């Protein structure tokens, strides 16, 4: 693989991570890009997952001041629930029409976008205590269901997990960006371990892609903190709409 190809991949991964560290949804850009440059679908997914670990690391560092001591128990709990669900999903190997599943997920995301954009404009902008939301306890089984979903398909998983944390526990968009990086890094480490055992990570590309995501994630986290929740919300809604469209039409 020549240096120009590596450079092009690096630029794409850097740009995607600057935005994606706050919004999710970058896999719909980065995996097709790797396939465009000649990687197989399996290798593209594995190499992208390897690089995402580094975006999560820099995102956690960049968002570190957002974390509160009381968040540790919550983040640990939903991480464990998510990983448990993903194991169940991987074991179930659910046989379902992928096009139907994509359509259902797309509709769910559109509903969330409408709810966040028009029904309650303070959701995700102003923090609310979980005790103020009567149905907050329903968020935990939903996280488990999303974990199962991520185990056998996983498209738009972070987008849906972010929406869950906002709607059920009253977190802001920036808090959610920080929390999902923790959840994602553990899930990604498990997946990458399997991928590396199978020889699917392409190490011609992985170092440059990882370095780009490391830098992009850190820059994106600082940009999100500087522009605030209202602008991050707008960015999130735009990316969520793109994800919903991509699941059906791309």
| Closest alpha carbon to 50 in 194, 177, 215, 246 | 194
Which pLDDT score is estimated for 191?
A: 82
Pairwise pLDDT comparison (130 vs 233), residue with the higher score: 233
pLDDT at 56 over 80: yes
Q: Work out the average pLDDT over 31-39.
A: 90
| Closest alpha carbon to 181 in 63, 84, 70 | 63
Instruction: List, in sequence order, the alpha helices (H) in the chain.
Output: 3-23, 27-36, 41-62, 71-92, 98-114, 139-152, 157-169, 173-197, 206-227, 229-249
Structure tokens at 36: 């465009």
- Residue written as tokens 């498990």? 190
Structure tokens at 88: 């169940």
How many structural domains is the chain composed of? 1
Confidence of residue 154 (pLDDT cuts 50, 70, 90): low
Confidence of residue 130 (pLDDT cuts 50, 70, 90): low
List the domain range (segments joined by +) for residue 80. Answer: 3-249
What average pLDDT does the chain have? 85
Task: Work out the percent of the chain whose per-residue pLDDT is above 70.
Answer: 90
User: DSSP secondary-structure letter at 120?
Assistant: -
């Amino acid at each position: 693989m020549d240096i120009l190809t590596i450079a092009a991949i690096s630029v794409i991964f850097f740009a995607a991570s600057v935005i994606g560290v706050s919004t999710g949804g970058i896999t719909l850009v980065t995996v097709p890009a790797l396939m465009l440059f000649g990687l197989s679908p399996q290798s593209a997914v594995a190499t992208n997952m390897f690089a995402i670990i580094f975006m999560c690391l820099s995102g956690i560092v960049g968002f570190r001041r957002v974390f509160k001591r009381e968040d540790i128990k919550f983040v640990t709990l939903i991480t464990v629930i998510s990983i448990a669900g993903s194991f169940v999903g991987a074991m179930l190997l659910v046989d379902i029409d992928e096009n139907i599943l994509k359509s259902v997920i797309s509709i769910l995301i559109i509903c969330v976008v409408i709810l966040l954009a028009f029904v309650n404009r303070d959701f995700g902008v102003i923090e609310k205590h979980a005790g103020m939301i009567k149905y907050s306890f329903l968020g935990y089984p939903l996280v488990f269901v999303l974990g199962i979903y991520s185990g056998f398909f996983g498209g738009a998983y972070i987008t849906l997990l972010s929406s869950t944390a906002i709607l059920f526990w009253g977190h802001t968009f920036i808090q959610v960006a920080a929390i999902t990086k923790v959840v994602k890094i553990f899930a990604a480490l498990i997946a990458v371990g399997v991928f590396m055992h199978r020889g699917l990570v392409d190490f011609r590309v992985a170092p440059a892609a990882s370095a780009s995501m490391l830098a992009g994630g850190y820059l994106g986290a600082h940009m999100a903190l500087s522009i605030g929740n209202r602008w991050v919300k707008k960015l999130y809604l735009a990316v969520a709409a793109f994800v919903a469209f991509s699941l059906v039409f791309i």
